[in-house]
Structure formats: structure tokens, C-alpha cells
């Protein structure tokens, strides 16, 4: 990222006002620095050379104290608003990157971008705070205080101004040389942190399976190695930061010393008066201070700058266009997949391959198939979260007109769909609000009766009876406070109470025992009785037996002639892709 990247101002509104405030305060600081130097030189010269007493010096000392106090206030205001702006800007960028990741869809996340988004949305962007609090103010001061003080020195003593102007460019030259090395290390450190985060996320997600096989300690060495690599990268950056800080301090100290030696010699030979010499001597360090601080604080901001670069890369990733046509009423319209094939992320495999599936209104369709065949991908296609590499996903209205799902307004479509994933994610709130959308006291008697009937069917009533505050019990993020089975009951009850005509259940019995499975079976029967359209991704025979139609999803190898990332137009659906005709898949195996 550039020292001040315009993309930051475009994507983070909090940064715009903060930059304007920082520029204004920088101008005020420049004036205060010059006034402080001039007043201090006058007081010292009058006391040492003219022999002025305290009563004569008191007015100037008072003004000097006022200037110092004003400079302190300006610095305090700068820091106060810097922290606020940093917090708001980080929150804005985090919200935008999560929203853009959701727009880009699960396929984009599955192709290795999920770990980057998680890292950026959590720890990565937090490192942007030093950029706002320490680096950016010094950058503005270097553009205001340094030129202003140099001009004042030029008016007082052209020799000192020439020395300052000659040595000043050395500071940014060293900053550029050191900064390039540090920037590369920061990028590598962020990549290591992303790999570490991805590894830990995978470990946490699969911890139950690893414990079942007694391998929960197996990935420990790999996680430790990544942690050590991140530590070494961070310490390497800090080492360079300390060394570069020492170099900049030495360079600016020698430059100020040259000016001071010249002033001392000319004072001895009477070529310069004491007040002018003192004023130049006080102003000389202020010429170099902002640039020196920019170099010192640059290393504290490089991690955040590297994270911001990746945020902008995510935000600038083009999103596939979305339709604006309102979706038809799914109580009378069907959703159809015609010869659909999707390439599996990171594999030369079509999953599903050549899938034909029609979800008619009021019907219950079971989607089965081996692991990795593309059942969850089929759900993403039905939900409109993913577009096929080949084939079409359409919504067919009662008159037989087929409209591509990509041409429909997703909001009008999603409002008609209730989706229950394998692991339901519940937002924080009370159980009653999560299930019925309102607290118990806010519901009408009829709505309360519907909720209680649905809870009795799913077994949630027994769960609520055991909670400390019943329906008013507050749950944490993700449904914290309930077991997986209890969360499943909450999600099933919410699906029953929803008015969505299409209900998609992705492996609803995957994490349930026999009692939980019976709850799901009863729920599906209730949905069928209500003439709701149900799509089941299922393995268990008891659940498949409830379906009116069973569709088997199969995968197939990617055709050798297809370019990378492209599904060939011929040979996918005719059985000519894989031996035994496995490319022709997704046909309905029977109506029940």
C-alpha cells in the first residue's frame, strides 16, 4: 500500500474525516512549533545577552507556556481521534470484506480464500491501528512541519537552511531502502499467519473425528512449526525496525550536529546574533523529527498495511452479476437443474456431473450419493449461492416458462427458502426470538400456540423446560449454551414455523442419535402434510423412504481436453467421460 492509499479513503469513510482533521492539526502544529522556537530564543537571548530580569521576561514566558500547553492539547486531540478513527475504519473494512466474501459465494471461499478472509476479519486488520495512531499523523506532520520550519530557517540563516536541505533527502532514501526489506518480511509474516489460522481452523473443525481415531495430537507438530515460523518472521521484522531506527537516529543527530557546529563557530566570530542562532538551533531538530518518526513508526504499521492490501484485493474482486427480476411464487413454481456439472475446488473432478433434478411444488425429493459426489454443491446450486460450470439452474413458473436462477433477484428468492445446514448456526438471542422471531410476551395467543405445537413436534419443548429461563434463555454466538442436537431442534422448529414454501435440509440427521433422527422424520412428515416442498440430502434409509423421488448424485473425472477451470461442452452427460458411464448422473431412480 502507498503511504496514503486512495483506496483506504474510498472504502473507509472514517479515514476521510480523520485525514482532514490530521491535516488541520498538522498546520496548527507547524505554527506552534515555530512560535515555540521563536519565543524560547527570545527569552534565552534576553536573559543571557541583554540581562533582562524576570518581570521583563514574564510576558514572553507566559506566551511560551501557552504555546507549549496548546501543543500538548493538539497532540492529545490527535491521539484521541486517531484511536476512534482506527476502530471505526477497521470495523468498516471488516464488515465490507465479510460482505464481499458472502457475495463471492462458497466456491470462492472453498478455493483457498476462506482462511484469508478469516485472518483479515479477525487479527489481520487489528494491525492497521498503528498506521492510524502513529504512522499517518507523522506522515502529515512531515508534509507540514518540515517545510514550514525549513522556510523559517531559510529566513533566519541561509547557511543552516542549506545544510538542512542537503542532509534532509538522506532520511527518506534510507527509509525507502529499509522499508522495502521490511515490507517483504511483513507480507511473508501475514502469509504465515494465514496458514497458521487455516491449519488451526481445520484442526478445530475436525477435532471430533481426530479424537475418535485417537489422532488429536497428530497435527500439534505442524501447528507448532507454523507458530514458530510466524514468530521468526515477526522477530525478524522487529530486528530490522530497531536497526533502522538506530540508523535514522544517528543520521538525524549528525545532521543537527552539523547545523549546531556551524552556528557555534559563527557565534564565536560574531557572524550571527544569539537570538537567531538559538531560534535556528531549536528549529533544526523539528525539521528532521517528523521524517524520523515516519521511519520509526513505519515498521509498526507494515503488518496493517499488508493486511489492508489484501483487503483491497478482496473488495476489488468482481462479483458475478445478479438478476433483478422478482422470483415467482415457489408454492406453484418448480426449481430445475438441467445437465448441471460443477468442478470440485482443487480437484480435476466434476461433482456433481451431468445432474438432472426437478424440485416440483409440494414434493419431497431426497438427494443421495457417495461422499464427495457433490451433494452439498447441489444444495448451493438450489440456493443460488453457486453457478454451474455447465448446464442450467432454472425456476419454472406454472405456465412452463423457465427463467435462469441467476436472472432472478436473490432476495425475493431467498425469502421463499428455509435452509437447514448440517451444523445450524444460530445468531445470539433468546430461544423464543430465534424460533418465533419475537419474545414470548410479544406473540399473539395464536402465534404462541403454533410455536408450542411445533416445539412439541421437534422435542424442543423438553429442551426449553430444562433451560433456566425457558423461552427467554439467552444463547451466545452460534447457539452457545446448547448441544448440537438441541441446536438442531431449534433450527427444525424455526423451519416449521417459517412460511417459506421450499425447505432444504442438508444431512439433518448427521449428528443425531436415534431419538434425534425420529424428531427429523416427524418434522419432514409435518412439512409434507403442510404441502411444503422439501429437499433432503440424506444417507439414512429411514429418511430416504419419506421422499416422493430419490435422485443420486455422482461425480466424474474432468475431461482431459478441458482447459483448467473450464468444463468441456461435449462428453460430460453422455457417459463418455468416465468408464462405465458414470458421467451421466443425477437421473431420478424412482418415484415413491
pLDDT of 335 reads 93
Contacts of range 82-85, beta carbons closer than 8 Å, 24 or more positions apart = 82/18, 82/22, 82/132, 82/133, 82/134, 82/136, 82/137, 83/129, 83/132, 83/133, 84/14, 85/14, 85/15, 85/17, 85/18, 85/132
The 10s digit of each residue's pLDDT in 292-333 is 777 767 666 666 777 778 788 888 888 776 778 888 888 899
Least confidently predicted of 108-112, 115-119, 562-566, 570-574: 570-574
The 10s digit of each residue's pLDDT in 464-517 is 888 888 888 888 766 667 777 788 888 888 888 888 999 999 888 776 677 778
pLDDT(459) > 90 = no
| Average pLDDT estimate for 38-56 | 79
Q: How confident is residue 416, by pLDDT bands cut at 50, 70 and 90?
A: very high
Contacts of range 196-199, beta carbons closer than 8 Å, 24 or more positions apart = 196/223, 196/226, 196/227, 196/229, 196/230, 197/115, 197/118, 197/119, 197/122, 197/123, 198/114, 198/115, 198/118, 198/119, 199/223, 199/226
| Average pLDDT estimate for 538-556 | 89
Cis peptide before 352 (omega within 30 of 0): yes
pLDDT of 573 reads 32
Given a contact cutoff of 8 angstroms between Cβ atoms, the answer to whether 489 and 459 are in contact is yes
Interatomic CA distance for residues 219 and 204, integer angstroms: 11
Among residues 503, 483, 507, which one has the least CA distance to residue 493? 503
The 10s digit of each residue's pLDDT in 258-272 is 888 888 888 888 888
pLDDT(575) > 70 = no
Q: How confident is residue 140, by pLDDT bands cut at 50, 70 and 90?
A: confident
Identify the CATH assignment for 6-315 out of 1.20.1560.10, 3.40.50.2300, 3.90.550.10, 3.90.1150.10.
Answer: 1.20.1560.10
| Average pLDDT estimate for 276-296 | 82
- The domains of the chain are located at 6-315
pLDDT(592) > 50 = no
Q: pTM of the predicted model, to two decimals?
A: 0.61
Interatomic CA distance for residues 354 and 184, integer angstroms: 46
Q: What is the mean pLDDT of the chain?
A: 79
Instruction: Check residues 25 and 578 and name the one with the higher pLDDT.
Output: 25
SS3 of 339, please? strand
pLDDT of 511 reads 66
pLDDT of 417 reads 92
Q: How confident is residue 135, by pLDDT bands cut at 50, 70 and 90?
A: confident
Amino acid at each position: 500500500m502507498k503511504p496514503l492509499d486512495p483506496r483506504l479513503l474510498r472504502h473507509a469513510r472514517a479515514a476521510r474525516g480523520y485525514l482532514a482533521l490530521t491535516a488541520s492539526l498538522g498546520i496548527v502544529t507547524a505554527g506552534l512549533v515555530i512560535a515555540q522556537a521563536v519565543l524560547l530564543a527570545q527569552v534565552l537571548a534576553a536573559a543571557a545577552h541583554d540581562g533582562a530580569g524576570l518581570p521583563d521576561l514574564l510576558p514572553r514566558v507566559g506566551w511560551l507556556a501557552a504555546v507549549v500547553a496548546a501543543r500538548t492539547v493538539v497532540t492529545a486531540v490527535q491521539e484521541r481521534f486517531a484511536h476512534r478513527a482506527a476502530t471505526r475504519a477497521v470495523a468498516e473494512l471488516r464488515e465490507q470484506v465479510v460482505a464481499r466474501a458472502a457475495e463471492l459465494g462458497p466456491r470462492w471461499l472453498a478455493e483457498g480464500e476462506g482462511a484469508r478472509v478469516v485472518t483479515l476479519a479477525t487479527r489481520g486488520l487489528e494491525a492497521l491501528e498503528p498506521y492510524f495512531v502513529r504512522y499517518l499523523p507523522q506522515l502529515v506532520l512531515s508534509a507540514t512541519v518540515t517545510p514550514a520550519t525549513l522556510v523559517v530557517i531559510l529566513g533566519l540563516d541561509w547557511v543552516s537552511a542549506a545544510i538542512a536541505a542537503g542532509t534532509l533527502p538522506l532520511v527518506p532514501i534510507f527509509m525507502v531502502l529499509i522499508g522495502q526489506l521490511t515490507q517483504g518480511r511483513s507480507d511473508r509474516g501475514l502469509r504465515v499467519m494465514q496458514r497458521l489460522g487455516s491449519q488451526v481452523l481445520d484442526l478445530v473443525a475436525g477435532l471430533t473425528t481426530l479424537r475418535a481415531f485417537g489422532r488429536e495430537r497428530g497435527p500439534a507438530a505442524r501447528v507448532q512449526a507454523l507458530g514458530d515460523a510466524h514468530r521468526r518472521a515477526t522477530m525478524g521484522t522487529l530486528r530490522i525496525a530497531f536497526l533502522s531506527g538506530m540508523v535514522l537516529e544517528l543520521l538525524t543527530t549528525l545532521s543537527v550536529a552539523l547545523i549546531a557546529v556551524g552556528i557555534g563557530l559563527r557565534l564565536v566570530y560574531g557572524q550571527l546574533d544569539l537570538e537567531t542562532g538559538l531560534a535556528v538551533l531549536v528549529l533544526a531538530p523539528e525539521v528532521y523529527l517528523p521524517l524520523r518518526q515516519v521511519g520509526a513508526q513505519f515498521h509498526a504499521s507494515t503488518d496493517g498495511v499488508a493486511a489492508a492490501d489484501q483487503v483491497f484485493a478482496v473488495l476489488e474482486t468482481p462479483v458475478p452479476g445478479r438478476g433483478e427480476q422478482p422470483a415467482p411464487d415457489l408454492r406453484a413454481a418448480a426449481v430445475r437443474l438441467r445437465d448441471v456439472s460443477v468442478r470440485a475446488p482443487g480437484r480435476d473432478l466434476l461433482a456433481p456431473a451431468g445432474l438432472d433434478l426437478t424440485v416440483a411444488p409440494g414434493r419431497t425429493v431426497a438427494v443421495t450419493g457417495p461422499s464427495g459426489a457433490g451433494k452439498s454443491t447441489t444444495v448451493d446450486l438450489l440456493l443460488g449461492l453457486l453457478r454451474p460450470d455447465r448446464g442450467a439452474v432454472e425456476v419454472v413458473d406454472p405456465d412452463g416458462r423457465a427463467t435462469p436462477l441467476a436472472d432472478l433477484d436473490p432476495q425475493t428468492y431467498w425469502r421463499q427458502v428455509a435452509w437447514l445446514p448440517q451444523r445450524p448456526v444460530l445468531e445470539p438471542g433468546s430461544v423464543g426470538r430465534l424460533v418465533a422471531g419475537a419474545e414470548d410476551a410479544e406473540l399473539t395467543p395464536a402465534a404462541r400456540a403454533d410455536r408450542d405445537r411445533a416445539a412439541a413436534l421437534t422435542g424442543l419443548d423438553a429442551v426449553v423446560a430444562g433451560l433456566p429461563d425457558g423461552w427467554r434463555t439467552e444463547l451466545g454466538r452460534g447457539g452457545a449454551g446448547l448441544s448440537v442436537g438441541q441446536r438442531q431442534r431449534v433450527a427444525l422448529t424455526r423451519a416449521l414455523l417459517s412460511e417459506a414454501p421450499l425447505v432444504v435440509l442438508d444431512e439433518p440427521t448427521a449428528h443425531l442419535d436415534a431419538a434425534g433422527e425420529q424428531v427429523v422424520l416427524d418434522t419432514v412428515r409435518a412439512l409434507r402434510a403442510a404441502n411444503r416442498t422439501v429437499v433432503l440430502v440424506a444417507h439414512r434409509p429411514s429418511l430416504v423412504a419419506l421422499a416422493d423421488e430419490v435422485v443420486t448424485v455422482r461425480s466424474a473425472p474432468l475431461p482431459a481436453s478441458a482447459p483448467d477451470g473450464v468444463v468441456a461442452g461435449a462428453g460430460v452427460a453422455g457417459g463418455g467421460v468416465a468408464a462405465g458411464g458414470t458421467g451421466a448422473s443425477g437421473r431420478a431412480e424412482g418415484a415413491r
